[in-house]
């Protein structure tokens, strides 16, 4: 099999560790993945430029292999005062439930966000990071050209065929195709998230037929069955998130890890409650009770800023009912193990399946 | 590979033609599929006992190979007069749009439905049909025991792990696992349809780990990539619906077939508008405009009876905006071809993929 993706990045395995923003992708996780011959990714979506620079240096000190950074492309959004006020009042009741005096949240500002985004890009360039992926949209043509001139391998994220075509048209080197199975935030940017809830078994072949760049399948892939099946669909690699969240090297909160290890796939739903953007995770009290208000919540990243205190409080108090417990649809396949064990298990199982199964 | 499913039914290929109720599964389609070494299925959900008997005899005259019948298990539902009146008024406006005098629809009656269901079971037994599958629920233990005594191979339908376990516990011989990608009606019966919108790549391995009976993957599988990938996930066979809808032998309305051949995967959404039960199809005017009323529509099969005139009118007038254009999430992979061409193409492609792809 001619796999341009793993050749381009000199990987041993066609596996990317999903760049989960919010603390899970510690340097220990990223470097352990890269040292095993898969691709470790720093989820830099919520990082400050200096913190990203620090983490990149840390990863470089721990591995000589390829690794990457993922950035959120800032989106346009409208601020409506009445939405913000309503959402604040709702969130306050939960903060009080956790017995905490409520502080005024600091709201995001698009200009500042754009500045930070540009600075993060500069850090990736300065530090000669081999791979940069983007989600929540596509970067400008100029940004891609700058990356290409410096030899950075760029990856876009798409949730349907049109978005994958947009990623390829921009000149990016590969596309992560996010199936409806995926945990965490939806990466849709050309359509609403309902129009892009497409299962990988249907989505991957349809994308592969329309683009020439390598397709990376993401969503619900937890073991060698998922990896081998994605390769049969025409993907050149898989991106796995939830499977890495429960690894010993992951920076995910132990409460989050335990919640995944105990969850059933029926418990995993989508919600806008935590961030204003659809994301998939384990249903809890906050998600259930906020469901009826979803239509009037402020958009991402405003709602995300508004729930920040609550999520922090809940984490400190180890209270899963108010934490964002992101997970894909395959939680019963998650295990507590090291990155080395996970990658070897997945790769060996996939190799065995592909050796054995015949029609 | 030890495939107990294809051995048990003496099939050449691990492919079932989905039993699509409503006219698509003509005797010509079913017998063509079985004659090719796959499993043809009569969708008998809306058939009267005499019509089923007639169709079974017809199929028997056209093939000596295994084939099957699918039955809807009647559900409990509540009739609320105000829901029915509201829905009638909504549907009337569309009937008037199609310039047709509105007749009073005949409403379903659970007692009659149960009688018909029992009669359909008797027809399957009388006619010695080799395979019987069930959807929208599970039959009684007595029914399964009767079938087993006569050597009928029974198949249940599940949309999550709990439902698959329920199917196995009842003593059925195999389970169709319906992924969120699937076209037509959702087969959920132990949970609501949102909790069971799980993509196959995540769902199949989780079910395979929990049941010992053969798992059949259904939803969005359109070609050899889908078939080979389902086998890697641990399924012993696939059930394909949309791919057979556009075959020359299919009884689907030509307007429906053309709509599939022209659709993009982003056009495929779920709706309760046509039947009161969630189903996946190509979005049209009726689905869009009824969206806001979905929460107050009568349940299946009441809403299905109420929209019957409208759907019939629309079919006669070849108006796709008011027909139920069921489709899975892979419409761009559909082709106009014969059953023989489809089955051979899918099987050859899957064999090639499984020969070629290595890790």
Chain B environment of A202 (Cβ under 8 Å): 181, 219-222, 226, 265, 328-330
CB contact under 8 A, A265 and B233: no
pLDDT of amino acid B1 = 53
Helix axes A27-35, A339-356, angle to 10 degrees: 40
Mean pLDDT of A42-62: 98
Instruction: Measure Cα distances from A304 to A21, A63, A90, A309, B200 in Å.
Output: 13, 33, 14, 10, 31
pLDDT (tens digit, 9 = 90+) per residue, A209-242?
Answer: 999 999 999 999 999 999 999 999 999 999 999 9
Mean pLDDT of B324-336: 98
pLDDT of amino acid B191 = 87
With pLDDT > 70 as the criterion, what percentage of chain A qualifies? 99
Q: Name the residue facing B229 among A232, A347, A351 (closest C-beta).
A: A232
Mean pLDDT of A68-92: 95
For A4-356, which CATH class?
alpha beta
CB contact under 8 A, A358 and B355: yes
With pLDDT > 70 as the criterion, what percentage of chain B qualifies? 99
Q: Closest approach of chain B CAs to the CA of A268, in angstroms?
A: 8
Chain B environment of A231 (Cβ under 8 Å): 357, 359
Q: Name the residue facing A265 among B202, B230, B355 (closest C-beta).
A: B202
pLDDT of amino acid A194 = 75
Q: Which residue has the tokens 């998600």?
A: A287
Q: Closest approach of chain B CAs to the CA of A58, in angstroms?
A: 31
CB contact under 8 A, B180 and A179: no
Mean pLDDT of A320-333: 98
Average pLDDT taken over every residue of chain A: 96
pLDDT of amino acid A282 = 98
pLDDT of amino acid B352 = 98
pLDDT (tens digit, 9 = 90+) per residue, A241-276?
Answer: 999 999 999 999 999 999 999 999 999 999 999 999
Q: Which residue has the tokens 């020359």?
A: B248
Q: Where are the domains of chain A?
A: 4-356
pLDDT (tens digit, 9 = 90+) per residue, A328-344?
Answer: 999 999 999 999 999 99
Give the residue among A1, A2, A18, A81 at the shortest CA–CA distance from A216: A18
DSSP state of B101: P
CB contact under 8 A, A228 and B350: no
Residues 6+ apart with CB under 8 A from B142: none
CA torsion sign for B306, B311, B317, B319 is: positive
Chain A residue at shortest CA distance from B159: A266
Question: Residues 196 to 235 of B: which have CB under 8 A from any A CB?
Answer: 196-206, 208-209, 217, 219-223, 225-234
DSSP string covering B209-236: TT--SPEEEESS--SHHHHHHHHHHT-S
pLDDT of amino acid B232 = 98
- Residue A271 in contact with partner chain B when CB distance is under 8 A: no
Mean pLDDT of B167-180: 98
pLDDT of amino acid B320 = 98
- Residue B42 in contact with partner chain A when CB distance is under 8 A: no
Whether the per-residue pLDDT at A103 is higher than 80: the answer is no
Residues 6+ apart with CB under 8 A from B189: B73, B75, B136, B137, B138, B163
Average pLDDT taken over every residue of chain B: 96
pLDDT of amino acid A235 = 98
Q: Name the residue facing A357 among B203, B217, B231 (closest C-beta).
A: B231
Whether the per-residue pLDDT at B19 is higher than 90: the answer is yes
pLDDT (tens digit, 9 = 90+) per residue, B230-289?
Answer: 999 999 999 999 999 999 999 999 999 999 999 999 999 999 999 999 999 999 999 999
Cis previous bond, B79, omega within 30: no
Q: Closest approach of chain B CAs to the CA of A250, in angstroms?
A: 22
**C-alpha to C-alpha distance for B16 and B70, rounded to whole angstroms:** 12
Q: Point out which residues pair with B217 in neighbouring strands.
A: B177, B238
Q: Name the residue facing B232 among A217, A222, A232 (closest C-beta).
A: A232
Whether the per-residue pLDDT at B78 is higher than 70: the answer is yes
Chain A environment of B350 (Cβ under 8 Å): 359
Whether the per-residue pLDDT at A106 is higher than 90: the answer is no
ipTM score: 0.97
């Amino acid at each position: 099999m001619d796999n341009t993706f793993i050749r381009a990045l000199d990987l041993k395995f066609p596996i990317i560790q999903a760049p989960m923003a919010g603390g899970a992708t510690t340097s220990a996780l990223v470097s352990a993945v890269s040292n095993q011959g898969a691709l470790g990714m720093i989820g830099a979506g919520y990082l400050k430029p200096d913190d990203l620079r620090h983490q990149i240096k840390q990863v470089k000190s721990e591995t000589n292999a390829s690794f990457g950074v993922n950035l959120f492309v800032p989106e346009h959004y409208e601020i409506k005062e009445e939405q913000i006020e309503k959402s604040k009042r709702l969130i306050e009741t939960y903060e009080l439930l956790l017995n905490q005096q409520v502080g005024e949240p600091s709201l995001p500002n698009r200009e500042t966000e754009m500045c930070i985004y540009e600075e993060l890009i500069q850090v990736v360039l300065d530090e000669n990071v081999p791979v940069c992926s983007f989600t929540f949209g596509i970067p400008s043509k100029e940004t891609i050209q700058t990356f290409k001139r410096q030899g950075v391998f760029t990856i876009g994220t798409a949730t349907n065929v049109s978005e994958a075509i947009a990623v390829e048209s921009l000149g990016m080197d590969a596309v992560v195709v996010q199936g409806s199975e995926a945990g965490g935030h939806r990466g849709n940017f050309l359509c609403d998230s309902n129009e892009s809830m497409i299962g990988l078994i249907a989505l991957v072949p349809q994308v592969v037929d329309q683009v020439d760049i390598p397709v990376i399948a993401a969503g619900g892939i937890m073991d060698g069955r998922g990896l081998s099946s994605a390769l049969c669909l025409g993907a050149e690699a898989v991106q796995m998130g939830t499977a890495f969240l429960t690894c010993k090297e992951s920076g995910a909160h132990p409460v989050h890890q335990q919640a995944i290890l105990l969850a059933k796939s029926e418990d995993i739903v989508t919600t806008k409650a935590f961030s204003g953007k659809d994301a998939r995770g384990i249903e809890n009290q906050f998600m259930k009770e906020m469901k009826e208000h979803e239509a009037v919540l402020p958009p991402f990243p405003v709602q995300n800023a508004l729930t920040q205190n609550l999520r922090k409080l809940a984490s400190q108090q180890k209270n899963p009912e108010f934490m964002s417990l992101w997970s894909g649809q395959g939680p019963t396949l998650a295990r507590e193990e090291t990155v080395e064990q996970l990658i070897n298990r997945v790769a060996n199982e996939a190799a065995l399946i592909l050796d054995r199964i015949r029609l």
